[in-house]
Structure 1
């Protein structure tokens, strides 16, 4: 995480774009669903090239999405940040299982719906003494892009997170007929417009439709307004 903080950083600009500093892989991440429409897996497609600095649209109006083209100034975008800065563990509600707990900060939900499969993770956690359920449970939780949900090892007092290199993904959600948020993976630091760094987490989703009421983070509004980035 410390290496990621030093090498890749996203700065929120006042009523403007996200400025990404550091070379980082960019990709399009599509939510693939099963026949019943339940989120099942991520399909990744890399975007060409890595740039040392890039400006990403957060107003939702750029004609060059996911990159900024200055439209925020033309539309009078209000990007005021209102997100709670209390650390995740101080906000999380815990649901206990035999060895694992499910931690949940509902306000961070980005509506990717991986939590709904197999009877929903809030019910599954009680059955994680079964190795098969445990594996499925961890997989579903780790697929939550916003980090709303965390699988917590009670003995180790630590989150179960996969090791991934820092990357930035742009979510597409065909089942909902919309484009989703910007997904930061691998502990990328986010700095507010006032210069304060938010808590670094392994999974974070940033609003790119412009409508979130939890800016700079996604709150699922993109699905309600059927935001399209293409």
Structure 2
């Protein structure tokens, strides 16, 4: 590969995980803030965009969870002895998915990348349980809507086993999310959309996906991916 081709390959939007440090985001990736909209019962329903966050085109996002300038990195990780060791698999989600076959829909789930955002269930049911009732097109439509709101891409779907997955049309951007819990709003993961390449600190790429949630609390056991640990109190 020529030097010019190598430069072109690395000039577009991407996210590079720095060793025990922040996410380096070159390529003018838009950064926004999104807040969960929940029902009167606390069930996540959708996302509300609360504006764009100004950047300089090439920026660093906090990964340790201790920055005073979130979502940006302020180098606090250097004084907090942050261990950002990456343990998430770099194979494909297709290798890990469990498949649920319904009527007119095939639901797939990779449990290893779930971020516990809660869009896949209500107080009375879950997507997995609803699959059995998808002969009812209203149920099927609701299952599709719930899957498409899953920020991590843990849930995907196709209309038949031999058909490709259908993905929501999402922009290339990163969202600093806020989740609504019974104890009030909390910082959620960084939600990456639009098939932005993500690269490990050692240069190895992760599977490029339309929906990815990255840990920004510093406590995930599946770094750099979010595993929902931020929803539980930190051990002091």
TM-score, normalised to structure 2's length? 0.89
5 Å-filtered alignment, 1:73-88, equals 73-88=78-93
**Larger helix proportion of the pair:** 1
Choose from 220, 223, 229 the match for 1:212: 220
How many correspondences in the alignment? Answer: 224
| Structure 2 equivalent of residue 149 of structure 1 | 155
TM-score, normalised to structure 1's length? 0.92
Runs of 4 or more above 4 Å deviation: none
Whether the 8 Å CA contact 2:106–2:161 is kept in 1: the answer is no
Q: Does 1:136 align with 2:135?
A: no
| Structure 2 equivalent of residue 198 of structure 1 | 206
Moved more, 83-92 or 122-131: 122-131
5 Å-filtered alignment, 1:170-209, equals 170-176=176-182, 177=184, 178-209=186-217
Whether the 8 Å CA contact 1:5–1:187 is kept in 2: the answer is no
Q: Does 1:40 align with 2:48?
A: no
Whether the 8 Å CA contact 1:99–1:155 is kept in 2: the answer is no
Structure 1 distance, partners of 2:27, 2:205, is: 16
* Superposed displacement of residue 48, structure 1: 3.8
Choose from 157, 164, 173 the match for 1:158: 164
Whether the 8 Å CA contact 2:196–2:208 is kept in 1: the answer is yes
Summarize deviations over 1:52-105 as a string: whole Å, max 9, x none.
Answer: 211000000111110001100100100000111221101101011122111111
Moved more, 57-66 or 24-33: 24-33
| Structure 1 equivalent of residue 117 of structure 2 | 112
Unaligned runs of 5+ in 1: none
Whether the 8 Å CA contact 1:95–1:103 is kept in 2: the answer is yes
Whether the 8 Å CA contact 2:191–2:214 is kept in 1: the answer is yes
Choose from 90, 94, 99 the match for 1:89: 94
